[in-house]
Amino acid sequence: MRRLYLGAVSLGALALGIGAAAAQEGILLDAVTVTATKDETRAVEAMAGASVVTREEIRTRAVQRIGTVLDALPNVATQENANDPATAVNIRGLQDFGRVAVTVDGARQNFQRSGHNADGAFFLDPAFVRLVDVTRGPVANIYGSGAIGGVVSFQTVSPDDVLAPGERLSLTLDTTFLMGRQTGILGTGIAAMRPTEAFGALVGLSLRSTDEYENGDGLVVNDSGQEIVSGLAKVAIDPAPFHRIELSAQLQRFDFANGLGTAMEPRRDNEVTTETFVGRWSWDDPADPWVDLTVQAWSTRTQTDQRRLSGTRAQIGETRFFEIHTIGADVHNTSRFDAGPVGFALTYGWDAFRDEVTVRDPVGSADLFTPSGERTVWGGFLQAQATWGIVDVIGATRFDAYELSGGDVSSDGNRVSPKLTIGIRPIEGLQVYGTYAEGYRAPSVTETLIAGVHPFPAAFSFQPNPNLRPEVGKTIEAGVNLSFDDLFLQGDRLRGKVSVFRTDVDDYIESIYSDPSGRCGDPRAPAACRTATFRYDNIARARLTGAELDLTYDARRWFASVSAGTTRGDDRVTNQPLTSVYPDQLALGAGLRFLDQKLTLGGRVTFVAAQDRLPTASATLKSEDYTLVDLYGSYDITPDARAYVRLENVGDVRTRRFRDGADGPGFVAKVGFQARLGM
């Protein structure tokens, strides 16, 4: 079965591809990406592995967790546990510690807590997400430092997304009921107003309550139920023509319990709160092509308060605390001009962020495994995009620097990373491109400063490594973009993107566990762990290669889609596979529209391969292949009211995704209603 996916992707050059448009389950839209170049471009025309998901698709799918959106994209995967609402993103086999830059309204999400979980995750209620903009690979290096794997940019709703032209007040309500292997309710309300043409405001509240779910065999997955409350407030002001000021605040609270209740993995109650504040000023006068300026500053804070629920009487009630506070700023401008027959877009800017990690564990050692410390990262960039007839050229360079400190340890570094992309459009609707791009990732506080002794019985030692060198990713990518209208039928549309890539990472940072005795953790050999160690170190060379395609065809009365991705990754020193590479995936979707396109019926079949291509020391992580079938239907009662039904995992298959800590849910039915009132 594994060969099926590799073969499907290998045929991508014939089957074409996308990575571009918005709604595989609705009318195909040409969504816009900004992460690839910081200049608005239709995703289907971006000379990069770019994908965009709109709010329409997120709402139609009644998404519970943000990973559901990302997992549908080629060569994008998420690591999520049933007993923890955090999400870690993996792009093309790269994950953790900022290799994939995740932003919400431009604010970096850099939270990390060491344990039996992903080393880098974020918390985000999908209820307020209006757009997900994904760029795969370091081709978006001008977007920010560290993103050698790619960028995932989330934008939250604004007043203009809720208010129709001419309206002064509007309210949207979304309600979804869950039945089957999981029960619960998801509810969201957003109110927006525009008392004057120069002022708009929005407030939203999301409440999500779900019970523990059962897997496909009917077994309860412990602690898989969650309580989530989140709110969003946003103000948009137009103080003068072509000027806009946006202020936003998003607050979230996640309550959940997890842990097995054993000595090695105590059971704990968790309260996670997040705060994201963003201020942005933009100036874009169509009459002045030299100025398209954006200035923004932001602050994001993620706090985790834990209270122990298991153990001895003295241990129950013990608390520990994790926090990362990140502040940052970004300034960039695009100037457009012509030089004879060549049109230029020159983008330049500066960005910086600072992480402050604070961990308190009065009776334990969590503050050693996730050490407190500070890291400051900054950089500047210059990008020139030229268009001459059928030829497009993008040349860019980025300077990065960082400083890191904690305890008696400090480190710093800097580098210049180039990028060059050349594209040719031999016929209307077809573009072929090639890219070489480099990215630079500074080591994190945890990778550098981790220290201490693992809890008994596996009492091996964690060792800091102040000599860690930054990672440098070098990617070669080739791709084809397609955008055809009226191809076979009047009014039909085909959008596609296919790409192949190779990424070499110099000084790749990997966790290295050494157990000379081979018996650490064996209760019959209590002294065996004395020589066992764990630390982060630089692997001289790592290589990831792969391909991806995503094809969508929309004939109005019916539509179909194909999406697939494959990646292989190896440590080129030991010739062992990398543990961070996810299995191949192929998804086929199709649907029909009736009653003047008011009624939509469709389905999706997702094939996920087994993953047993792992280093010998990680063989226990292997996962089995599985197939999921989802069906859905929606009816637009009025232009502002919709009812829908989703049947997920209709085969009631027992599944466990690669690197997840528990099985996924069995069959779940979602029944919901969406409405908008405006005046």
Query: Residue 517 maps to which CATH number?
Result: 2.40.170.20
Residue 571 in any domain: the answer is yes
Q: Which structure tokens are listed for 421?
A: 């992309």
Residue 484 in any domain: the answer is yes
Report CA-CA distances (Å) from 653 to 245, 446, 658, 665.
Answer: 49, 38, 15, 8
DSSP 571-587: ETTTTEE-TTPPPPEEE
Report CA-CA distances (Å) from 615 to 60, 495, 541, 581, 620.
Answer: 40, 38, 16, 11, 10
Which tens digit of pLDDT belongs to each residue from 608-617? 999 999 988 7
User: Cβ of 514: how many Cβ atoms within 10 Å?
Assistant: 12
Task: Indicate the residue type of 401.
Answer: A
Enclosing domain of residue 534: 2-18+158-678
Which tens digit of pLDDT belongs to each residue from 91-136? 999 988 888 999 999 999 988 776 666 777 899 999 999 999 999 9
pLDDT of residue 367: 67
Specify the length of the chain in residues: 679
Check pLDDT > 70 for residue 22. Answer: no
Check pLDDT > 90 for residue 236. Answer: yes
Percent share of the chain, pLDDT over 70: 93
User: What is the rounded distance in angstroms from the CA atom of residue 516 to the CA atom of residue 531?
Assistant: 7
pLDDT of residue 258: 84
pLDDT of residue 250: 95
User: Cβ of 516: how many Cβ atoms within 10 Å?
Assistant: 11
- What is the average pLDDT score of the chain? 88
User: Residue 19: beta bridge partners?
Assistant: none
Peptide bond into 457 cis (omega under 30): yes
Work out how many domains the chain is built from and give that number.
1
pLDDT of residue 4: 39
User: What is the rounded distance in angstroms from the CA atom of residue 127 to the CA atom of residue 427?
Assistant: 41
Q: Which structure tokens are listed for 95?
A: 């994950």
Which tens digit of pLDDT belongs to each residue from 453-482? 776 677 778 888 888 899 999 999 999 999
Q: Which structure tokens are listed for 679?
A: 């005046």
Check pLDDT > 60 for residue 570. Answer: yes
Report CA-CA distances (Å) from 540 to 188, 468, 504, 518, 567.
Answer: 49, 12, 10, 25, 20
pLDDT of residue 117: 67
Question: Tokens 């690669």 sit at which residue?
Answer: 658
Q: Is 225 helix (H, G, I), strand (E, B) or coil?
A: coil
Which tens digit of pLDDT belongs to each residue from 281-322? 999 999 999 999 999 999 999 999 999 998 888 889 999 988
Percent share of the chain, pLDDT over 90: 63
Check pLDDT > 80 for residue 368. Answer: no
Residue 82 in any domain: the answer is no
The mean per-residue pLDDT over the stretch 193-198 comes to: 94
User: What is the rounded distance in angstroms from the CA atom of residue 395 to the CA atom of residue 380?
Assistant: 15
Residue 580: left if φ>0, alpha if ψ -120 to 50, beta else—which one? alpha
Check pLDDT > 90 for residue 232. Answer: yes
Strands of 309-441 (E only): list them.
319-339, 342-360, 373-388, 391-406, 409-427, 430-441
For residue 433, what are the contacts with CB-CB under 8 A and spacing of at least 6? 47, 392, 421, 422, 423, 424, 478, 479, 480, 481
Residue 26 in any domain: the answer is no
Residue 135 in any domain: the answer is no
Predicted confidence band of residue 13 (pLDDT cuts 50, 70, 90): very low
pLDDT of residue 618: 81
Q: Say how many CA atoms lie within 13 Å of 453 toward its Cβ.
A: 10
More confident residue, 489 or 261: 489
Question: Tokens 């990069």 sit at which residue?
Answer: 48
pLDDT of residue 445: 81
pLDDT of residue 6: 37
When computed from its CA atoms, the radius of gyration of the chain, rounded to whole angstroms, is 25
Strands of 55-141 (E only): list them.
76-81, 84-91, 94-95, 100-104, 107-108, 129-136
Reference 652, options 673, 638, 633, 668; nearest CA is 668
Spatial contact of 93 and 565, defined as CB atoms under 8 Å apart? no
CA dihedral 250, 256, 260, 264 (to 10 degrees): 40
Residue 616 in any domain: the answer is yes
pLDDT of residue 141: 67
Residue 100 in any domain: the answer is no
Give the pairing of strands 100-104 and 150-156.
Answer: parallel
Residue 469 in any domain: the answer is yes
For residue 664, what are the contacts with CB-CB under 8 A and spacing of at least 6? 82, 215, 649, 655, 656, 657
More confident residue, 549 or 455: 549
* Sheet of 107-108, strand order: 49-54, 129-136, 150-156, 100-104, 107-108
- Single pTM value for the model: 0.90
Reference 610, options 631, 627, 595; nearest CA is 627
User: What is the rounded distance in angstroms from the CA atom of residue 154 to the CA atom of residue 57?
Assistant: 14
Which tens digit of pLDDT belongs to each residue from 613-630? 998 878 888 999 999 999
Report CA-CA distances (Å) from 490 to 486, 553, 555, 557, 598.
Answer: 5, 13, 8, 11, 20
pLDDT of residue 96: 85
User: What is the rounded distance in angstroms from the CA atom of residue 675 to the CA atom of residue 176?
Assistant: 12
Which tens digit of pLDDT belongs to each residue from 129-185? 999 999 998 876 677 778 899 999 999 999 999 999 999 999 999 999 999 999 999
Sign of the C-alpha dihedral computed for residues 256, 73, 177 and 127 taken in this order: positive
Q: Which of 40-44, 257-261, 382-386 is predicted most confidently?
A: 382-386
